[in-house]
Amino acid sequence: MDREGFHNRAVEPQSHAIEGLLAAEDADREGGEWDTARAGEGEEREAGSVISMSSDDSSVEDEPVEHGERVRAEEQEAVAEVIAAEMQDALTSDDDDDEFELPRRYAVGANWHHVARAHMEMLVNAGRDRRVALSNNEMVGMLKYAGYLKSAALTDAFLALPRASFVPGAADEAYLDTPMRLAGLNFNVSAPHMHAMSLEALDLGAGQRVLDVGCGCGVVSALAALLVGKGGCVVGMDVLPAAVSLSEANLAQLMSSNAAFKSTAAPVALHHHNVLFPHASLPEGGFDRIYVGAACPAARLRALSRLLAPNGKMVVPVASELRLLSKSAKGEVGAKVLSQVRFGDLIVPSDAYIVLKTLEWERSLQCVAPIPPSTYVDDLAEASSLATAPVPPSAAAASSPPSSSSALAVDSPPALEHDGLGEPDCALVGADGWRLSAHKALLKVRCQHFRARFDSGMRDAASDVLAVPDNFSKETVEAFLHYVYRDALPPQLSAPQ
């Protein structure tokens, strides 16, 4: 679209909205982010701030213009003078009846002042401000034009996952390149250029393990999942339950509505947890890439860097700097400043509380019995060697037909077909008369109780009838035999267990 066409689409001046912009300026700064790298070399301005309208702005006066451009500059200056005069009247007016009323088009969403500001910039700059987009494709094009999106893979991911799908009810604001405040949820969503710059710096690749700290609405987790693919994994964490719930809802919607995402994206695990506390999903050296969406105190960087694998990278705001931390193969960590920014602070508990949580975690690990690796294959081989009279599977199945009420056909488990155990040579018998066939050799190899019983030398050691205590139900014994023969519990267990 040419500049004239863009200008013709700009909305009419909204004088009263200017007063709202000024009133909202503090709210815009509170907890949001700003980026001085956006304005270009030698210039710093807050992301999303109102553009300069001073007539003595050297950046405007020094720019050589042709005749047509000079006419447009004069038009802009005239509009700026009108807006500035109305702003001054609004600020100095003592008329209590002159109540500010927000135009309806800006009355939806917590970031109405971003929308109003963007429209004013479109008007005054006649379309030359490339932060204003009306669709996801336009937003992606502007991010590419500004140099934030560089790689084809990340560009395709941004195109595949429209920002509006992560901020329900805020479609009018979703594609503005500014941070968004989600009303009622008490957190911000970073500006698109910030996500683009951070993910470009992380250089995500297939099969990588990614941690998204402060997952918020889930947009970074989703983008990362698409970039690392089915061979990778993504863990998202947030201390706000509402944020985790929103991320879960957004990712569930993606899985149900976006076939490409469902078929190609990595699994995403979301947790309501503080990343500075120990967790089963936070192993030391467990992540190739980490994105931190809140400002981390420099004193806590060591704790986060422990989560990085060798040759890993982490993007993290520290004070007013957005840093890229890189860990070498030897574990040495270096840092590079990507931009000057401001983020909301990471919620950092006290040292004492971190120690307490760590002790609780270590104590809980001591209460968990370690699960030994499976010995199923070796057990089957040993049981086959102990079997004295192997017969064909058909004979084994015919000798003891399964009970119609049994959830498990123990007479013909897969082991009979592959490992030459022969026909069942014993039966487990319940107090009320039910019987379940089995193989002594496999029971002996797979269960310490039966091993001790068969090797005890007592009179019942050689018995083919194995009485089951009264307090064991048939279903419990069926589940036990299911595990003995198949190395897994049955998919459904009926009470009592």
Q: Which residue has the higher pLDDT, 491 or 150?
A: 150
Please state, in angstroms and rounded to a whole number, the distance separating the CA atoms of residues 210 and 312: 10
Choose among 195, 190, 180, 179: nearest CA to 140.
195
**Residue of 54, 59, 93, 190 marked active site:** 190
**Amino acid occupying residue 219:** V
Please state, in angstroms and rounded to a whole number, the distance separating the CA atoms of residues 2 and 9: 11
Q: What would the pLDDT profile of 316-328 be if each residue is shown by its tens digit? A: 999 999 999 999 9
Rounded to 10°, the helix 152-160/219-228 angle is 130
Residue 348 · residue 304 · CB < 8 Å: no
320: annotated active-site residue = no
Question: 128-132, 329-333, 399-403: lowest mean pLDDT where?
Answer: 399-403
Is the pLDDT reported for residue 496 higher than 50?
A: no
Is the pLDDT reported for residue 126 higher than 50?
A: no
Over residues 354-383, the mean pLDDT reads 84
Please state whether beta strands 465-467 and 426-429 pair in parallel, antiparallel, or not at all (unpaired). parallel
Percent of the chain with pLDDT over 70: 65
Is the pLDDT reported for residue 51 higher than 80?
A: no
Rounded to 10°, the helix 219-228/192-202 angle is 30
Please state, in angstroms and rounded to a whole number, the distance separating the CA atoms of residues 128 and 238: 38
The distance from CA 178 to its chain's CA centroid, rounded to whole angstroms, is 21
Residue 300 · residue 294 · CB < 8 Å: no
Is the pLDDT reported for residue 4 higher than 80?
A: no
Q: Would you state the pLDDT for residue 87?
A: 52
Q: Would you state the pLDDT for residue 385?
A: 82
Q: Which residue has the higher pLDDT, 11 or 243?
A: 243
Please list, residue by residue across 276-302, b when 16 or more beta carbons sit within 10 angstroms of its beta carbon and e when fewer do: bbbeebbeeebbbbbbbbbbbeeebbe
Residue 301 · residue 277 · CB < 8 Å: no
Over residues 259-288, the mean pLDDT reads 93
Q: What would the pLDDT profile of 164-199 be if each residue is shown by its tens digit? A: 999 887 777 888 888 888 877 878 899 999 999 999
Domains of the chain (ranges; CATH) run: 1-131 (no CATH), 376-486 (3.30.710)
Q: Would you state the pLDDT for residue 375?
A: 87
Q: What would the pLDDT profile of 217-246 be if each residue is shown by its tens digit? A: 999 999 999 999 999 999 999 999 999 999
Percent of the chain with pLDDT over 90: 40
Average pLDDT of the chain to the nearest whole number:
74
